[in-house]
Structure 1
Amino acid sequence: MIQRHHRAVMGMALAATAALGLTACASAGGPAPAGDTAANSVDAAQPRLALTYDGGLLVLDATTLDLEADIELAGFNRVNPAGDGRHVLVSTAEGFQVLDAGAWTSTDGDHFAAEPELTDLVFNAPTPGHVVRHGDKTILFSDGTGDTTVFETADLLEVDGELPETEIVSSPEAHHGVSIVLEDGTLLTTIGTPDARTGVRVLDADGEETARNEECPSVHGEGTTAGEIVVFGCSDGVLVYENGQFTKIAAPDAYGRTGNQYVTDTSSIAVGDYNSNPDSEGYELTQLTLLDTVAKTSSIVTLPAGVAYTWRGVARGPSDETLLLGTDGSLHVLDADTGAITASYPVIDPWEGPAEWQDAHPALVVLGATAYVTDPATNSIHAVDIATGAVGASAQLPATPNEVAAVTG
């Protein structure tokens, strides 16, 4: 079922915000729309980073790593870029709350900067889960209801006390899931219950189911490669969707779980995390899976001894290369086609994986030609040139960083 919601002032968001007791410590007021005198004109785009810590959010200038804002926000919060180059969606108890990073480029090419602000706008989503950005859409999934919320990404740039118009697609049952909308309006969304997840169903632009596949136990994560081929992870391989057809690619092991996909729009190779031990403890992994979405084949890459990673430590670079932040403290560059390590750059001290997935541990995010590495052990962040491995800037943070998201400005 598809519901279309037109713009409305989110009064309930105001109440939710008050209940959380948040304040913007470094912000005297919200950033104004482009052209307003409250926003400063600058010479170039101002990319920014949003980081969570226990009790709040930090917003940094991504070029200098200067602190732009320290915003109090209770609870365990997660961050995802909204896709418009300006906003970050913060997963809170009520849903996806809109953080304005305070820097943006107008449609005329002019650049503006203002102080960041955690707005009162919240996309309703009990137990907010995955955020997917694809084409001109941003897609939100609520684990608490199974609902998918879809909006035009660019519409978020026009917010003025209101959320953009949305479409809401319901699921038969709530579950930890994910959805994506393709360029032609096709919606792919996971199938599951609070107790189990089994596969993916396909809905056309009118909300009618046109296909489904339930051969993907513990379905998790989503990635879209070149040619708009979509990949979902399963506990026994991966599920691929292309041109109305599903293809299941089995793992080489009886248990071979892929949970997250790391993809680009220009590469046909999907890189996934991989675990072949159902009895493993902790969150460190030592293998990756490489999926050729055209040939429909996969292979497993085993990392060198002493190098492990978590889901927070994998990303794709500007040339489709795979970047991996190892427990040895190095940023490793891998050839996306073969998985061979082509370079390794020491950045931080060796570290161990977390006892619980929510625990702070090193994270990696990429913006253009720069990789940003956080180090909770020293409350610091480092900007690394992907081509050379040189650390261009480092900064001490006022709190222990957990998750990190980047916006282009």
Structure 2
Amino acid sequence: MPRTTPKPVVLLLSLPLLLSACAAPDALSGAAPSAPTPHGYVAGAQENPEPQTGLLTLDAATGEGQLLSLLTEETSDAGTHGPVTAAHVDGRYALLTTAAGVQVFDTGAWTVDHGEHKHYYSAPPGPVGSLAVPDAGAVAGDGKSIAVFSPSGGYASVYRHMDLDAGSMAEAFRITTSPHSGMVVPYAGHFIASVAGSSAGSSAGSSGGDPAVAGGVEVRDASDAVVLGRQDCAGLAGHARVRAGVVFACADGALLVTGEDGAFTAEKIPYLDGGAGLPPATSLGHRPGSNELAGPAGDSGIWHLDVAKRAWTYLPTPVPVVTAAAVGDGKRVLAAGVDGSLLTLSPATGEVTARAALLPPGSAHRPQLRIDTSRAYVSDPVRSVVHEVDYADGLRVARTFDVPAADFLLETGL
């Protein structure tokens, strides 16, 4: 009688062959399996255990820049870009407005925020190229797209970070409104576009006002279709991205635009008592990622906005201030006075809780103020220095950096 092997043994003997057939090539060769690509990864970048924060300072007249690492204090040349009229940072990229368009400089450091965790990346810094937008005006970005508005053209050219990462300077598409002094702000996969102050040349009704300036906003998708119709914001003068959404400064308060899953809403946050005859805030300074904003209220004080509470507070100051920003901890608003002092004010009581003589008096050379989770950075254009201030320790100056020029100041790596 022929001998047969029981079926269970056949299966066991065959199992190594089956496993070998299903194994990945790395397993067969003995090599370690490939690691999954981390979120936010860009080819050529290095992931780090902590944010690679730094300061980019610029000379307004020449565009000469310098990068300074806040971790090592090492400096590197950041190129010369020609006369610069405005400077912004969006993720890894510094965006420098010049007569030739918007010069893009890779700062070599950025953070990818996934809510419950963050990734910190670095790469060699260097110039990327120019975004050739005629009559380039307001620039805004959300870390994924950058919109450069042309006031005379009445449109914004949109550029994607993924294209810039790959070295392409090509315009992805346009968001078109009408010629006016306006802006387009990328947000939640869509674009908040300003519309002119009257129906003349506007595609979205009328609320009166000067057609040469922005009088409201509407939300568009990437095909330039309107998703949320016109929301009035007379005297629109600036915007800030907060945790709750995007806030626009209006003559009568603020307009908060929020969005989720392609659905958008807008809410007006009026000044208390109609502003009580005080000048509106035309700039909204804050710590990135917070829900508090602040800006000068003319020469008499500061407007503070708690977005979460939908509430404005007026904070009188002992001297006129030239710039202000909220720390976002519910305890502090920082401001630079015309007398050269740096002030801390309590948004709850209006009390000046700290004051330090830091800058030369006068407002001809306005300082710039940048705030992160532990420090504030205050530029001194007259002396070409930047002060690192511990705002939780009575405005103690922790470090002072000598720089070639400090007309513009950006904190990088956030």
TM-score for the superposition, normalised by structure 1: 0.71
Whichever residue aligns with residue 309 of structure 1, its letter is V
CA distance in 2, matches of 1:338, 1:297: 14
Q: Secondary structure at the match of 1:172?
A: coil
Match of 1:380 in 2: 385
**Greater CA deviation, 134-143 or 366-375?**
134-143
Q: Does 1:61 align with 2:68?
A: yes
Match of 2:397 in 1: 391
Match of 2:325 in 1: 315
Match of 1:117 in 2: 126
CA distance in 1, matches of 2:300, 2:277: 17
* 8 Å CA contact retained: 1:371, 1:386: yes
Alignment of 1:5-404 (within 5 A): 35=44, 45-53=51-59, 54-63=61-70, 65-69=73-77, 71-82=79-90, 84=91, 86-103=92-109, 112=122, 114=124, 116-119=125-128, 121-134=129-142, 136-153=144-161, 155=162, 158-160=165-167, 162-163=168-169, 166-173=172-179, 175-183=180-188, 185=190, 187-192=192-197, 196-205=212-221, 206-209=223-226, 210-214=228-232, 216-228=233-245, 230-241=246-257, 243-247=264-268, 249=270, 251-254=274-277, 256-263=279-286, 268-275=291-298, 285-293=299-307, 296-304=310-318, 307-310=319-322, 313-317=323-327, 319=329, 321-349=332-360, 351-354=361-364, 360-388=365-393, 389-399=395-405, 401-404=406-409
CA distance in 1, matches of 2:346, 2:327: 10
CA distance in 2, matches of 1:319, 1:301: 16
1:156, CA displacement in angstroms? Answer: 5.8
Match of 2:18 in 1: none
State the structure with bigger RCO (CA 8 A, min sep 6), 1 or 2. Answer: 1
* 8 Å CA contact retained: 1:318, 1:369: no
1:334, CA displacement in angstroms? Answer: 3.0
Q: Secondary structure at the match of 2:344?
A: strand
* 8 Å CA contact retained: 1:52, 1:58: yes
Q: How many residues align?
A: 345
Q: Unaligned stretches of 5+ in structure 2? A: 1-41, 202-209, 259-263
Q: Over aligned residues, Cα RMSD in angstroms? A: 3.5
CA 1:96–1:76 in 2, change beyond 3 Å: closer, same or farther?
Answer: closer
Deviations along 1:19-71, one digit per CA (max 9) or x if unpaired, are: xxxxxxxxxxxxxx8548xxx99885432222221212222324155431153
* 8 Å CA contact retained: 2:159, 2:172: yes
Q: Which has the larger radius of gyration?
A: 2
1:394, CA displacement in angstroms? Answer: 1.8
1:397, CA displacement in angstroms? Answer: 2.7
CA distance in 2, matches of 1:42, 1:330: 37
TM-score for the superposition, normalised by structure 2: 0.70
CA 1:169–1:362 in 2, change beyond 3 Å: closer, same or farther?
Answer: same
Whichever residue aligns with residue 247 of structure 1, its letter is K
